[in-house]
Chains A and B, each alone.
Chain A
Amino acid sequence: MNGVHDLGGMQGFGPVDREANEPVFHADWEKSVLAMNVAALTQRLYNVDEFRHGIERMAPAHYLGSGYYEHWFASIERLLTEKGIVNRADLDARIAALRARPAEPSPRRDDPALTARMLQAVRAGSAAKSEATPAPRFRAGDRVRTRNTHPPGHTRLPRYARGHHGTIERFHGVFTLPDAHAHGHGRQPQPLYAVRFEGRELWGESAEPGHSVYLDLWESYLEPA
């Protein structure tokens, strides 16, 4: 979707604002959100493409006015309630109860077996690479053109790179297609390529000198040029 998350090439956000000696987390609730997401992904309550699209479905003003872990939380909350894993009314009731007694700590509950599974999952990583072997249509050095397409759902072809010519840099293997996987249409694995675009091709006369951009793009995003 042509959402506000698709930031590449936008202007007006000012300088890059850096924090010296930044801590890994800025608040305890961020730690909970990280753990919730790892736990949910690992237990396949949703997949990572649904998760990213959940962030993209945030209201634009909320997206721009909030940070990374709030984005995560918005998507986690939306997906878990949409999928019925957490009942919306139960969640609202719990929020109201906590608001009435904000100082009351949540009871601690440990689950060593679940913890062991989570740590194993963190070590093992994800599984978007597929063993499926459709032969790649393109080879390194081939000229391609990205499709000029504006799907309303999830896609990983950013707006700034649509309808542009590039060169296949390398074939990565066959990977889950996020456009399908984010919407419950299975993995539909496709060949994935690193594609090189010259700065002038993307940005015309505004391009800086000696500058290129590489994107990882699925085969159906590309046509021969």
Chain B
Amino acid sequence: MGGQHSSEPEPYVTLRVRALESLLVEKGLLSSDVVDKLVSVYENDVGPMNGARVVAHAWVDPAYKQRLLADGTAAIAELGFGGRGGGDKMIVVENTRTVHNLVVCTLCSCYPWPVLGLPPNWYKMPAYRSRAVLEPRQVLTEFGLELPDTVEIRVWDSSAEVRYMVLPERPAGAEHLGEAELAGLVTRDAMIGVARVTGPAPSR
């Protein structure tokens, strides 16, 4: 490619993709059902609900949490998650009252696919990638998360085949909830580190 056709309308890309796709299908390197099945995997089976199960399990089972922080890959595999996009190693970093972790990939868009699915657009765009390492507090403020200066911010710039996920703090007011309900509170953004997990809305 190499041309400066950033202002080309989308059909231009669509056409090129269709052309290459059809040639690969003819060569037996791709097929219609490969496309359908892979799309279905990432639309339905692999997403932040997987990471949420890992987090909720760690909240209710201290021994599991210990294993998760010691060897993320193995502990996540215990729940059946792993595979492409997880790099070769998963590391889970824990948020506490004094440490807040944030994940980014400044060079491309590495992201822990097996536990969070495909990344949201903002994670892949220049604004987040450029700023997360330089002014993480300012970025977090834009996400609605103001942290006191006494909380250390650790930014994990994923530059190798190691993928990072944040273990958020268990929210107050959720003591009575079971594991499945807890998992329902855990958001994608909390596992990237741009949000906290908030407790259930108080019943009125």
CA distance A17 to B131 in the complex (A): 13
Instruction: Scan residues 116-160 of chain A and give those whose CB is less than 8 A from a CB of chain B.
Output: 118-119, 121-129, 156-158, 160
| Residues on the B chain within 8 Å of A9, using CB | 106, 130, 133-134
| Stretch from B2-10, B56-64, B168-176, B177-185 at the A interface | B2-10
CB of B157 within 8 A of CB of A24, answer no
Q: Please give the distance in Å from B158's CB to the nearest CB on chain A.
A: 7
CB of B107 within 8 A of CB of A208, answer no
Instruction: Scan residues 101-151 of chain B and give those whose CB is less than 8 A from a CB of chain A.
Output: 106-109, 114, 117-122, 124-131, 133-139, 142-143, 149-151
Using A9-B133, A22-B121 as known contacts, say yes or no to A110 and B32 having CB atoms under 8 A apart.
yes
Between B20, B89, B157, the greatest number of chain A beta carbons within 10 A of the residue's beta carbon is seen for B20
Band of interface residues on B:
35 or more
Using A8-B106, A15-B127, A18-B120 as known contacts, say yes or no to A124 and B17 having CB atoms under 8 A apart.
no
Instruction: Scan residues 150-194 of chain A and give those whose CB is less than 8 A from a CB of chain B.
Output: 156-158, 160, 172-173, 175-176, 178, 192, 194
| Residues on the A chain within 8 Å of B109, using CB | 68
CB of A24 within 8 A of CB of B1, answer no
CB of A172 within 8 A of CB of B162, answer yes
> Chain B, 4-34, contact with A by CB distance < 8 Å: what is the 0/1 string?
1111001101111111111111011111111
B79: Cβ under 8 A from any A Cβ: no
CB of B133 within 8 A of CB of A160, answer yes
CA distance A77 to B129 in the complex (A): 25
> From B153, which residue of chain A is reached at the shortest CB distance?
A211
CB of B120 within 8 A of CB of A13, answer no
CB of B18 within 8 A of CB of A115, answer no
Instruction: Scan residues 30-74 of chain A and give those whose CB is less than 8 A from a CB of chain B.
Output: 31-36, 38-40, 43, 45, 48, 52, 55, 58-59, 61-62, 64-68, 70, 73-74
Band of interface residues on A:
35 or more
Using A29-B13, A156-B107 as known contacts, say yes or no to A13 and B43 having CB atoms under 8 A apart.
no
Q: Please give the distance in Å from A181's CB to the nearest CB on chain B.
A: 11
B35: Cβ under 8 A from any A Cβ: yes
> From B21, which residue of chain A is reached at the shortest CB distance?
A32
Using A173-B89, A210-B153 as known contacts, say yes or no to A110 and B33 having CB atoms under 8 A apart.
yes
| Residues on the B chain within 8 Å of A67, using CB | 121, 124-125
CB of B19 within 8 A of CB of A94, answer yes
CA distance A7 to B119 in the complex (A): 17
Q: Please give the distance in Å from A144's CB to the nearest CB on chain B.
A: 15
Q: Please give the distance in Å from A16's CB to the nearest CB on chain B.
A: 5
CA distance A209 to B150 in the complex (A): 9
CA distance A14 to B126 in the complex (A): 9
Between B6, B108, B109, the greatest number of chain A beta carbons within 10 A of the residue's beta carbon is seen for B108
Instruction: Scan residues 186-225 of chain A and give those whose CB is less than 8 A from a CB of chain B.
Output: 192, 194, 202-203, 206, 208-218
Choose among A16, A97, A121 the residue that contacts B131 (Cβ–Cβ < 8 A): A16
Q: Please give the distance in Å from B97's CB to the nearest CB on chain A.
A: 13
A-B contact pairs, 12 of them (CB 8 A): A8-B129, A31-B39, A40-B29, A59-B1, A67-B121, A78-B1, A95-B15, A114-B33, A115-B34, A122-B38, A172-B89, A172-B160
